[in-house]
Amino acid sequence: MRLRDLGEFGVIRRIERAAARAWPRAPGVVVGIGDDAAVLRPRRGEDVVVTTDALVEGVHFRFETQSPLAIGRRALVANLSDLAAMGARPLGCLLALAAPPRLPVRTLDALVAGILREGRAHGCPLVGGNVARAREVSLTITAVGAVARGRALRRTGARARDRILVTGTLGGAALEVARAERGRGRVRGVPAPRLAAGRALARLRGVGACIDVSDGLEADLAHLLEPAGLAGALDPARLPRPRGFDAACRRLGLDPERLVLGGGEDYELLFTLRPGTPSAARLARRLGVEVTEIGRVLRRPRGRTPPPRGFRHF
Amino acid sequence: MRLRDLGEFGVIRRIERAAARAWPRAPGVVVGIGDDAAVLRPRRGEDVVVTTDALVEGVHFRFETQSPLAIGRRALVANLSDLAAMGARPLGCLLALAAPPRLPVRTLDALVAGILREGRAHGCPLVGGNVARAREVSLTITAVGAVARGRALRRTGARARDRILVTGTLGGAALEVARAERGRGRVRGVPAPRLAAGRALARLRGVGACIDVSDGLEADLAHLLEPAGLAGALDPARLPRPRGFDAACRRLGLDPERLVLGGGEDYELLFTLRPGTPSAARLARRLGVEVTEIGRVLRRPRGRTPPPRGFRHF
């Protein structure tokens, strides 16, 4: 069976029923799927955080190298990671799905199941969306969250002498993609958005700037530092990699350092802290996740700096 | 110049600069474009209302029959109309733009200008989004609004004997599309989202259900009534049309009644009121817009019964 056999309202009803099974009753959701808009209820004294991210077939994923379930999971994770990087807790998400009428209904089901699975894992119910016909499949997700008023983590705010830290490990997502593209299996792993760590960071004193590593360490660090006329001095030996990463890269003829610096979609949090803030080990306990200090913020030297590596859309 | 000449970050910066010119400082926006997510501040005691809607090239619009400025305006209006139908005031919007690298930058500029123009007209700043490469152009907009806690207008809530009313006139948008498709000019008119009327309705007592007319009167009335086992008895003679509408339809060989009942995208508010609520004329003053009473809600008859003359059942 294909989408064209269900029709537009059939597709909507199918997504609605799957969401209702996953979330019979979601706290904070006043109106879910099925009205002109969703209604969400933040707590008193909270700001609303909202972000959108799209995965497009042939650009961000291919059905040949990734299961529809993993694609759905990844689509939501990309958004949850943005909420994490603001220090927000999720309230709900919307799915704008574009797909050709010949798409099998079981592919739709798996894409939606992936979104709902991550939503359940991270307290983010699917509360609405849109379906449209298109030549290629795309999933545009909007995630809505809440953060204590005025406490959102920002990309701006880094200063010279700040410490640069990162959660978890880097390069793993890029390695898995490279492996899949050489025909060695599909991309299966889906990174965990660092929501709890982000919320803990938003409560911490002395945070400079924060971003999630989606384009790649070098590119995302540039987002934090370049607009402020700053640069980062990184210690390549200290960049945290997954266990067995360097050997796996060499087996595929890849440069591990390039993958760690340029590979995106690890969805770790990259942030700066003022000097004198707690050690990485103490932070790790507080944030509930591995934390590594990887360098320090400097004033940018004058002259040309090479453009950062990372994914480029156009 | 084309998008590929700007690059991804060039496209983002260009949209960001245009938004900053349109909204040097937007009240209620804590963090706008340029961070991992936008941060918006509802007032105390407000719920958050969020909706998303996509316009896809070749499905919802064609550059041959509609200017990019009008397409951008329409993309935001579709979302603002959903906020209106919930009785919400806009807080901000996000644009997820997908486009081929060969798209001329002046087309991008006009699409964005259209969004910003409607945003300014209705107090809805552009606060973030996403850009992605794709084979066809699509604009997926998310609008975020706020409504007094528990006061959002719902699609559910109609009851038998409710009065059925609609703002403004119907069929005008469909007529313009039909005209453009016969090569008689481009689609220029962009309907106004009924935000003030929606907010006034949300304050009114005795409202049953509310929806915006995006699919067409017949289809949207069915959204309100069918799930509740209800039907609508409409008086076709009372359906409000634009001045000169019937004559213009006949010149094009179109059936005016079909266009009024089936044509979508007029973005008027269709709602039900309990019996004994104020007259259409008094409502019009209160809502600041033309209001017409077009029929009444009935319990849906079992089995098939021939519709009474002059009335139409769903």
The DSSP bridge pattern shows strands B89-99 and A269-273 to be: unpaired
Ranges A95-104, B111-120, B186-195: which has the least confidence: B186-195
- Amino acid present at A144: V
CB-defined contacts A:B, below 8 A: 210
Give the per-residue pLDDT at B186: 76
Q: What is the ipTM of this complex?
A: 0.92
In the predicted structure, residue B88 carries a pLDDT above the cut 70: yes
- N- to C-terminal Cα separation, chain A: 35
pLDDT in tens, A253-277: 999 999 999 988 899 999 999 999 9
**Looking at chain B from residue 22 to 81, which residues have their Cβ under 8 Å from any Cβ of chain A?**
30-31, 34-42, 44, 47-54, 56, 58-60
Q: Which residue has the higher pLDDT, B305 or B39?
A: B39
Task: Tell me whether residues A39 and B85 touch, CB distance under 8 A.
Answer: no
Residue A36 has its nearest CB partner, among B10, B60, B211, at B211
Q: Determine the Cα angle at A152 with ends A151 and A154, to 5°.
A: 125
d(CA B306, CA A214): 61
Q: Of the candidates B140, B151, B299, B134, which has an alpha carbon nearest to the alpha carbon of residue B231?
A: B299
Q: What is the pTM of this model?
A: 0.93
Give the per-residue pLDDT at B298: 96
Give the per-residue pLDDT at B303: 60
Task: Tell me whether residues A134 and B130 touch, CB distance under 8 A.
Answer: no
Average pLDDT over chain A reads 93
Residue A313 has its nearest CB partner, among B8, B144, B145, at B8
Residue B138 has its nearest CB partner, among A44, A98, A143, at A98
Map out the domains of chain A as residue ranges.
3-148, 163-299
- Is residue A294 within 8 A of residue A239, CB to CB? The reply is yes
Task: Tell me whether residues A49 and B56 touch, CB distance under 8 A.
Answer: no
Q: List chain B residues with CB under 8 Å of A314.
A: 3-4, 6-8, 10-11, 101, 131, 133
Tokens, residue A195: 């929501």
Residue A37 has its nearest CB partner, among B8, B38, B50, at B50
Q: Collect all residues with Cβ–Cβ distance below 8 Å to A247 and sequence separation of at least 6.
A: none
Q: In this complex, is the C-beta atom of A85 within 8 Å of any C-beta atom belonging to chain B?
A: yes
Mean pLDDT within B5-10: 92
In the predicted structure, residue B60 carries a pLDDT above the cut 80: yes
**For chain A, what percent of residues have pLDDT higher than 90?**
85
pLDDT in tens, B249-299: 999 999 999 999 998 889 999 999 999 999 999 999 999 999 999 999 999
Query: Nearest CA to CA, how far is A40 from chain B (Å)?
Result: 5
Confidence of residue B314 (pLDDT cuts 50, 70, 90): very low
Q: Determine the Cα angle at A96 with ends A210 and A178, to 5°.
A: 60
Task: Tell me whether residues B140 and A140 touch, CB distance under 8 A.
Answer: yes
In the predicted structure, residue B312 carries a pLDDT above the cut 70: no
Mean pLDDT within A204-231: 95
Q: In this complex, is the C-beta atom of A144 within 8 Å of any C-beta atom belonging to chain B?
A: yes
Task: Tell me whether residues A50 and B60 touch, CB distance under 8 A.
Answer: no
Residue A16's Cα: distance from chain center in Å? 24
Give the per-residue pLDDT at A121: 96
In the predicted structure, residue B121 carries a pLDDT above the cut 50: yes
Confidence of residue B165 (pLDDT cuts 50, 70, 90): very high
**For chain B, what percent of residues have pLDDT higher than 70?**
96
Q: List chain B residues with CB under 8 Å of A134.
A: 56, 59, 136, 138
Confidence of residue B309 (pLDDT cuts 50, 70, 90): very low
Q: What is the dihedral of CA A108, A28, A167, A180, to 10 degrees?
A: 0
Residue that the structure tokens 């992605």 belong to: B132
Q: Of the candidates B147, B130, B145, which has an alpha carbon nearest to the alpha carbon of residue B45?
A: B147
Return the residue of B nearest to A311 by Cα: B8
d(CA A49, CA A40): 12
Confidence of residue B308 (pLDDT cuts 50, 70, 90): very low
Across A192-210, b (16+ Cβ under 10 Å) vs e yields bbbbebbbbbbebeebbbb
Mean pLDDT within B168-193: 86
Ranges A80-94, A155-169, B138-152, B168-182: which has the least confidence: B168-182
pLDDT in tens, A17-75: 999 999 888 888 999 999 999 999 999 999 999 999 999 999 999 998 889 999 999 99
Give the per-residue pLDDT at A177: 85
In the predicted structure, residue A205 carries a pLDDT above the cut 50: yes
Q: List chain B residues with CB under 8 Å of A52.
A: 52, 94, 96, 128-130, 140, 142
Give the per-residue pLDDT at B254: 93
The CATH architecture one would assign to domain B3-148 is 2-Layer Sandwich (3.30)
d(CA B101, CA B98): 10
Mean pLDDT within A283-291: 97
**Looking at chain A from residue 232 to 261, which residues have their Cβ under 8 Å from any Cβ of chain B?**
none
d(CA A15, CA A181): 31
| Topology, domain B163-299 | Phosphoribosyl-aminoimidazole Synthetase; Chain A, domain 2 (3.90.650)
Q: Of the candidates B144, B163, B115, B139, which has an alpha carbon nearest to the alpha carbon of residue B51?
A: B144
Mean pLDDT within A203-226: 96
Give the per-residue pLDDT at A304: 53
Q: Which residue has the higher pLDDT, B57 or B27?
A: B57
In the predicted structure, residue A310 carries a pLDDT above the cut 60: no
Q: Where are the beta strands (DSSP E) in chain B?
A: 29-31, 38-40, 46-56, 89-99, 126-133, 138-148, 163-167, 207-212, 230-234, 269-273, 291-299
Q: List chain A residues with CB under 8 Å of B211.
A: 36
Task: Tell me whether residues B129 and A52 touch, CB distance under 8 A.
Answer: yes
Across B123-157, b (16+ Cβ under 10 Å) vs e yields bbbbbbbbbbbbbbbbbbbbbbbbbbeebbbbbeb
In the predicted structure, residue A92 carries a pLDDT above the cut 90: yes
**Looking at chain B from residue 206 to 235, which residues have their Cβ under 8 Å from any Cβ of chain A?**
210-212
Ranges A181-190, B49-58, B66-75, B231-240: which has the least confidence: A181-190
Give the per-residue pLDDT at B220: 95
d(CA A192, CA A51): 17
Task: Tell me whether residues B37 and A51 touch, CB distance under 8 A.
Answer: yes
Average pLDDT over chain B reads 93
pLDDT in tens, A228-248: 999 999 988 899 999 999 999
Q: Of the candidates A42, A91, A56, which has an alpha carbon nearest to the alpha carbon of residue B54?
A: A56
Task: Tell me whether residues A37 and B145 touch, CB distance under 8 A.
Answer: yes
Q: Of the candidates A295, A297, A279, A276, which has an alpha carbon nearest to the alpha carbon of residue A287?
A: A279
- Amino acid present at B13: R
d(CA B163, CA B297): 6
Give the per-residue pLDDT at B153: 98
Q: List chain A residues with CB under 8 Å of B85.
A: 36-37
Give the per-residue pLDDT at A305: 55
The DSSP bridge pattern shows strands B163-167 and B269-273 to be: antiparallel
- Comparing B3-148 with B163-299, is the CATH topology the same? no
- Is residue B197 within 8 A of residue B287, CB to CB? The reply is yes
Return the residue of A nearest to B102 by Cα: A314
Return the residue of B nearest to A270 by Cα: B36
Query: Nearest CA to CA, how far is B94 from chain A (Å)?
Result: 7
Q: Collect all residues with Cβ–Cβ distance below 8 Å to B175 and sequence separation of at least 6.
A: B242, B245, B248, B249, B252, B254, B259, B263
Return the residue of B nearest to A8 by Cα: B215
Q: List chain A residues with CB under 8 Å of B54.
A: 96, 98, 130, 132, 140
Return the residue of A nearest to B57 by Cα: A134
Give the per-residue pLDDT at B306: 45
Mean pLDDT within B50-74: 94
